């Protein structure tokens, strides 16, 4: 990357903590955020568990009147953005607002609003459907509401790339800065899709874990007994900034975004290409852009969904991208603790990656009990581990064949 891009602020809404430090403390301790679904009665569903954000009060982050005009996924985004801006010490003013943009990904968008308004239509007729339905449900409203709430008037867009949405948004936000269209980008992902329809749809395609009797153990990436992912919700927002802008402001710098790799499998609507060719190219390209070799990678925060084929295929991709060095690199999946946040997962996982670099500690992959011969790398099982981390990768892969790899480096001025 020509223009150096750094991270100066972060905010998170997750099933194991609201705020980055709360989330990170729980992640290092290996806490599970998975439990029986409480937002609706799941008794008729094959999968009855999820990683819900249970203690979120939107009125702590925005005007109560405005919350009624936002779907839950947009509320999460505004809350995480407020935390990130405060963390960055960044105030948006008439002097800088045209140079601050917003790119936020969401794989699903306002599905809570869509489902509730369909029920209104069927039960009470078209005249009772909310006039706010459309602007509450469309996927760009996380980015738009953040822009409106804080007054950022630079480039503004939503990224939809399934479970790689947030990572794509972050990569494209960095490109906006490099093109000179903005100095600062508010970026990441947000998702709130724990609804009856979404849970039924994912379960019926055999994607979700059905370990309903033991929710905390259900998400078990790379373990031989894994039986599907656990749907989660939340948001992660990062402040990306040109190094020149950050230094001019005297901002603290968490880490440097050194490279991005984006590819497509061009293979299947849901499954990863079993050859792992596309995921391999994403990692190789990200390292090439960063000017790094496989031997310089100290940690990988894996996509690691806890599905049979994803974990097997990602393991193969890591081996192909790093060669024999793959067996020396620690890998962990944050999804073991927070479930799969779909379009928000890449942003929350990148925050975990950055904090791992800051604290020089590897977060664990919890629930790892039975080794799988096809998953034979170091997955940092069950307990956090101190480590030297200068360079880390964060992987995201999405339905439709979207692959993303982001390379983070410890910042050196």
User: Which positions are annotated as active-site residues?
Assistant: 163, 303, 340
Cα dihedral sign for 394, 395, 398, 403?
Answer: positive
Two structure tokens written together for 56:
């979120």
For the chain, the 3-state helix, strand and coil shares in percent, each to the nearest 5, are 40, 20, 40
* Residue the block writes with tokens 């308004």: 117
Alpha carbon distance, N-terminus to C-terminus of the chain: 16
370: Cβ–Cβ under 8 A, 6 or more apart, which residues?
A: 223, 224, 225
90: left (phi > 0), else alpha (psi -120 to 50), else beta? beta
Grouping H, G, I as helix, E, B as strand and the rest as coil, residue 185 is: strand
Angle at 71 between CA 152 and CA 164, to 5 degrees: 70
Pick the closest to residue 155 from 126, 123, 187, 125 (CA basis): 187
Closest CA to 73 of 32, 18, 13: 13
**Angle at Cα 334 formed by Cα 331 and Cα 338, nearest 5°?**
165
Rounded (10°) CA dihedral 143, 146, 148, 151? -120
* CB 303 within 8 Å of CB 379: no
* Residue 174 to residue 228: CA distance in whole angstroms: 33
Q: How far is it, in rounded angstroms, from Cα 14 to Cα 295?
A: 32
Four-point Cα dihedral 146, 151, 154, 155, nearest 10: 30
d(CA 302, CA 290): 19
């Amino acid at each position: 990357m020509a223009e150096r891009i750094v991270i100066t602020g972060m905010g998170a809404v997750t099933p194991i903590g609201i705020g980055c430090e709360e989330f990170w403390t729980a992640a290092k301790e290996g806490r599970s955020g998975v439990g029986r679904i409480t937002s609706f009665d799941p008794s008729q569903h094959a999968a009855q568990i999820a990683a819900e954000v249970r203690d979120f009060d939107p009125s702590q982050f925005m005007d109560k009147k405005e919350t009624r005009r936002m779907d839950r996924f947009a509320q999460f985004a505004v809350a995480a953005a407020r935390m990130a801006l405060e963390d960055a010490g960044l105030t948006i003013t008439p002097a800088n607002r045209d140079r601050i943009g917003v790119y936020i990904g969401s794989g699903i968008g306002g599905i809570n609003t869509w489902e509730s308004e369909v029920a209104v239509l069927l039960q009470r007729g078209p005249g009772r459907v909310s006039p706010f339905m459309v602007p509450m449900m469309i996927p760009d409203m996380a980015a738009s509401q953040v822009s409106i709430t804080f007054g950022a008037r630079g480039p503004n867009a939503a990224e939809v790339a399934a479970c790689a949405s947030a990572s794509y948004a972050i990569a494209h936000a960095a490109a906006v800065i490099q093109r000179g269209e903005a100095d600062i980008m508010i970026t990441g992902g947000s998702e709130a899709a724990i609804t009856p329809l979404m849970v039924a749809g994912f379960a019926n395609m055999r994607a979700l874990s059905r370990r309903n009797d033991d929710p905390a153990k259900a998400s078990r990436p790379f373990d031989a007994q894994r039986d599907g992912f656990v749907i989660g919700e939340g948001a992660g927002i990062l402040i990306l900034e040109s190094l020149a802008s950050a230094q001019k402001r005297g901002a603290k710098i968490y880490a440097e975004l050194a490279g991005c790799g984006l590819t497509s499998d061009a293979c299947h609507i849901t499954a990863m290409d079993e050859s792992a060719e596309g995921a391999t190219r994403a990692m190789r390209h990200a390292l090439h852009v960063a000017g790094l070799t496989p031997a310089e990678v100290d940690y990988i925060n894996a996509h690691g969904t806890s599905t049979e084929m994803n974990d097997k295929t990602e393991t193969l991709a890591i081996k192909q991208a790093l060669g024999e060095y793959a067996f020396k690199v620690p890998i962990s999946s944050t999804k073991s603790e927070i479930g799969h946040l779909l379009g928000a997962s890449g942003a929350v996982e990148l925050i975990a990656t950055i904090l791992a670099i800051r604290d020089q500690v590897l977060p664990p992959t919890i629930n790892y009990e039975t080794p799988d011969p096809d998953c034979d790398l170091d997955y940092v099982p069950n307990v956090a581990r101190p480590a030297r981390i200068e360079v880390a990768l964060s992987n995201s892969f999405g339905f439709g064949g979207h692959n993303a790899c982001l390379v983070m480096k410890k910042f050196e001025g």
